[in-house]
Structure 1
Amino acid sequence: MKKFLLLMLVGSFIIVACNSESNNGNGNTDDSEAQADWDVLSLKELKERVDVIAFFTVEDVEIQEKSNGINAQISTLELTKTISGTVSGEVKLDQSTNYVEKGEDYLLFLEQNGTEGYYYVPSPSGVIQEKDGMYNSDKLGGDSKLNKEEMEKLISD
């Protein structure tokens, strides 16, 4: 009986350990669950809070240690289309979690960080990755996957 309980305990531990490693550690998930203790913001709340809403392509990424000892990823973004706000050309995105990936396209809701660049709104809907030409509108209160033009229309209305 003790061997059986020990075997069950070890098996449970292995399952939990493997499951926790299934996300590759960059915090990038396609679900709309809140990351850490992020607020789930409505599209209206996002639009009121941010400086820029735009589509970007990630050109480069660099890991830097901040003065507070936390590692951050500084990503160089190339603007592909602005929906709201004013930004041009190249943008530096400062991230401590939910890293964007080099070569990928995103719809980002950004706030300006003084003169040091931008950061995304800490909400599950602040960073929406394009997958196969589509964006998950459920992160903005929609119920389907939308292409870039449809997503822009949803946000602009």
Structure 2
Amino acid sequence: MKKSRFIFLACLFTIGSLISVGLIINYDSESPEVQGDWPHKDIDELIKDSDLIAIVKVKDKKMKESKVEKEAGLKRQFSTLKIKEVIKGKPEKEIILNQAYNFVDIGKEYLMFLSKGSDGYYYELTNVSIVPKKNSKFKSKIKGLQGTFNEIELINKVKEKVK
């Protein structure tokens, strides 16, 4: 009886280890992405629904969690954004972006399509409404604005669409 219990536990341990190794191997630490029910919007819909379209630079960020979020293991990031160029919306020097995931990084630049909440914070409209700048280029996945652009090209393309 003891031998069968030992074999059972050894098999259980082995299976658990194999599953854990498989999960670790398949984990992509470069792009962990939480999935949500984002609306699918093309460039025209993003422009229409945006309170602010701007090129921004992330000045700082703070992580916060409410009691409910803490219990669920979730955090929100509040990032101070310095506005470099307003394409649509009220010109402001800085705004606060409230995010639940796909957080922006300090010192990085982005093209953002944002809505302003009644709480005064800004929110992204979809999972593609924040376009990062990498190696001096913006790579957009927005339908109707897909491609890789330098800053001036991107601003001009979006301004054309805003008109």
Q: Which residue of 2 aligns with 1:88?
A: 92
Structure with greater helix share of residues? 2
TM-score normalized with structure 1 length:
0.79
What is the match of residue 133 of structure 2? 130
Q: How many residues align?
A: 145
Among the aligned pairs, what percent are the same residue? 25
Give the equivalent residue in structure 2 for 1:41: 41
Write the distance in 2 (CA, Å) between the matches of 1:67 and 1:103: 30
How large is the RMSD of aligned CA atoms in angstroms? Answer: 2.6
Question: 1:77 and 2:84 equivalent?
Answer: no
Asked which structure has the greater CA Rg, the reply is: 2
| 1:17-76, Cα deviation, whole Å (9 max, x unpaired) | 332252465x4xxxxxx9422122100010111100000000000001135424210000
**Rounded Cα–Cα distance in structure 1 between residues aligned with 2:101 and 2:94:** 21
Aligned to 1:16: 23
Residues 87, 113 of structure 1: alpha-carbon distance in 2 compared, 3 angstrom cutoff: farther
Which residue in 2 is equivalent to 1:62? 62
Query: What runs of 5+ residues in structure 1 fail to find an aligned partner?
Result: 1-6, 28-33
Counterpart of 1:71, as a letter, is K
Structure 2 vs 1, CA of residues 115 and 96 (structure 1 numbering), >3 Å: closer, same or farther?
A: same
The 1:67/1:47 distance shift into structure 2, 3 A limit, reads: farther
Could you tell me how far apart the structure 2 residues matched to 1:8 and 1:142 are? 47
**Residues 133 and 13 of structure 1: CA distance in aligned 2, closer, same or farther (over 3 Å):** same
Amino acid at match of 1:149: I
* Runs of 4+ deviating beyond 4 Å: 7-13
CA distance in 2, matches of 1:155, 1:140: 12
Residue 118 in 1 paired to residue 135 in 2?
A: no
3-state secondary structure, aligned to 2:78: strand
- Matches of 2:81 and 2:97, distance apart in 1: 7
Q: Residues 43 and 145 of structure 2 are in contact (CA less than 8 Å); yes or no, is this contact kept in structure 1?
A: no
- Equivalent position SS for 1:139: coil
Q: Is the 8 A contact 1:137 1:151 kept in 2?
A: no
> Structure 2 stretches of 5 or more lacking a match?
1-13
